[in-house]
Amino acid sequence: MNVAILGAGPAGLLFSLLAKRRNPRWRVEVHEQNPPDATFGFGVVFSQGALAFLERDAPDLHAKLSARMESWPVQRIVHRGAVVEIDGNGFSAIGRLDLLRFLQGLCLEAGVDIRFDRRLEAPPPTDLVVGADGLNSVVRQGKGFEPQVEWLSNRFVWYGTTQRFDCLTLTFRESEHGSFVAHHYRYAPGMSTFIVECDAATWQRAGLDRLDEAASRVYCERVFAADLGGHPLLANKSVWRQFPLLSNLVWRAGNAVLIGDALRSMHFSIGSGTRLAFEDAIALDRAFGEAGEDVPAALAAFEGERRPVVEKLYAAASASSHWYEAFPERMRRLDALGLAYDYMTRSGRMDAARLRALAPRFMAQVDAAGGSG
């Protein structure tokens, strides 16, 4: 069987690896428009739960990947000079380029044909087409997938920094122009991701809609000077953007199927984008393991397994993203502990009882302050 995968991100690379391992006689080609060492952003983060599924479904991959990651057992919220630590909320992170190189190496060892610097205007004729080509998917265009997009109003920009942070932290700061929040975490011994977000009104009052990349970076360094400790912010195509909440009413069309960000975009605040890309790849490979080379049956099985899971997580991610849309008002109304509790329950998937089980030290503080209702 001939398989064409468009996109050499985490979803496309992992599916190609698993498919080639399971079916060595298949011809598996990956088409990627960028060169092999190109990536945007800095590190990617996984929750403990996100890595548990990988340990279960691809234990050899999990073992190799875990050895390359930075890990920590807590999360922190910084607001009004106070630091709140949330126990039982562990994460791991790795540089996005490091992750892609790791997967590329495994794919090449398995015999996958990866073709970089190759932009296709349409999928090639083949037995199976997998659209893993992100938000601007070529596979999705004109194929009846019925994409739906909601653009959030907040603006965000993705930086890196040589400042080493102990754990995943949300830092809320005020400038003379309005409210900002930074999502930051280390992904290598000497490097951290640093995402800055603000509401549209603040973005305009600060003149960030008119500043170039260098001037915007300097502005953000000033807002978060206390947190950066003299370390600079590092740019990599770091422009202000709005986040698109993308979904598709149709997942498969003929012999084509969407996975990863081509299928749906999960807001970065729940840290599940790469996790879901991996889960899509594993589920699609498992479907072919059960259906053999019956493409329609495999794609139907993939959708039947994944759609309920994805729709549930998509609803949680949407709730989380809309929490951020109103974070300036929450900053004004809540102290650090109250903001942390409000944040932890933002998606509707976590209530006080579940938090007491997962984060007993944090909830002891919340209960003592009478903040859990």
Statement to judge: residues 123 and 255 lie in one domain: yes
Q: Is the pLDDT of residue 371 over 80?
A: no
- Final residue of a domain: which of 205, 234, 263? 234
Cα torsion angle, 78, 80, 82, 86, sign? negative
In a domain, 181, yes or no: yes
pLDDT digits over 320-360, tens only?
889 999 999 999 999 999 999 999 999 878 889 999 999 99
Average pLDDT of span 130-137? 94
- Range(s) of the domain holding residue 169: 155-234
pLDDT digits over 90-121, tens only?
899 999 999 999 999 999 999 999 999 988 88
Confidence of residue 231 (pLDDT cuts 50, 70, 90): very high
Alpha-carbon 367 to chain mean position = 32
**First-last CA distance in the chain:** 58
Statement to judge: residues 223 and 103 lie in one domain: no
In a domain, 371, yes or no: no
Statement to judge: residues 11 and 110 lie in one domain: yes
Statement to judge: residues 32 and 109 lie in one domain: yes
What CATH number did the domain enclosing 251 receive?
3.50.50.60
What CATH number did the domain enclosing 194 receive?
3.30.9.20
Statement to judge: residues 135 and 200 lie in one domain: no
User: CA 284 to CA 301: how far, in whole Å?
Assistant: 8
Instruction: Please enumerate, as own/partner, the contacts of 222-227 that have beta carbons within 8 Å and a separation of 24 or more.
Output: 222/175, 223/173, 223/175, 223/180, 223/196, 224/171, 224/173, 224/180, 224/182, 224/194, 224/196, 226/173, 227/78, 227/163, 227/171, 227/173, 227/182, 227/184
How many distinct structural domains can be found in the chain?
2
